[in-house]
């Protein structure tokens, strides 16, 4: 079974530039999550989709971050404009999303460095 795919793996940009990350979840997984992991910390949930609808985006900095999940499969996360403090690993995860399918499977992440 193929895992969660993310691209690019690495990205270096200057502050005030924009950047986009892509995620392809495990086939059949209804729920997709984006987490931000700052160096030395645990992942923090940014946004959660159930199919193509947003379930929770309470921790997403909406003035600069946006995300979409068209057709309930792939998802993109965008930052515009980027700040120095956005340097982090952006992890995508997916799950079946029901009581007995709680396990979240993570992709390898996209490492973003903002200069």
Partner 1 sequence: GENVEQHPSTLSVQEGDSAVIKCTYSDSASNYFPWYKQELGKGPQLIIDIRSNVGEKKDQRIAVTLNKTAKHFSLHITETQPEDSAVYFCAASEGGADGLTFGKGTHLIIQP
Query: Interface with partner 1 by CB under 8 A: which residues?
Result: 4, 30-31, 33, 40-45, 48, 50, 55-56, 91, 93, 95, 97-99, 102-109
Provide the token pair at 104. Answer: 């979240």
Q: How far is the CB of 72 from partner 1 (least distance, A)?
A: 14
* Minimum CB distance to partner 1 smaller for 1 or for 40: 40
* CA–CA gap between residue 30 and residue 19 (Å, rounded): 25
* CA–CA gap between residue 56 and residue 59 (Å, rounded): 8
Q: How far apart are the first and last CA of the chain?
A: 37
Q: How far is the CB of 89 from partner 1 (least distance, A)?
A: 8
Angle 82-106-12 (CA atoms, 0-180°, nearest 5)?
25
* Minimum CB distance to partner 1 smaller for 2 or for 40: 40
* Minimum CB distance to partner 1 smaller for 5 or for 13: 5
* Alpha carbon 31 to chain centroid, angstroms: 12
Q: How far is the CB of 28 from partner 1 (least distance, A)?
A: 14
Q: How far is the CB of 60 from partner 1 (least distance, A)?
A: 11
């Amino acid at each position: 079974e193929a895992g969660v795919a993310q691209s690019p793996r690495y990205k270096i940009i200057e502050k005030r530039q924009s950047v986009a990350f892509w995620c392809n979840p495990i086939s059949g997984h209804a729920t997709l999550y984006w987490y931000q992991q700052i160096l030395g910390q645990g992942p923090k949930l940014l946004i959660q989709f159930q199919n193509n609808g947003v379930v929770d985006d309470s921790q997403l900095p909406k003035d600069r971050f946006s995300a979409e999940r068209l057709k309930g499969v792939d998802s993109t996360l965008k930052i515009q404009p980027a700040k120095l403090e956005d340097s982090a690993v952006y992890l995508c995860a997916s799950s079946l999303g029901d009581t007995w399918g709680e396990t979240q499977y993570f992709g390898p992440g996209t490492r973003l460095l903002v200069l």
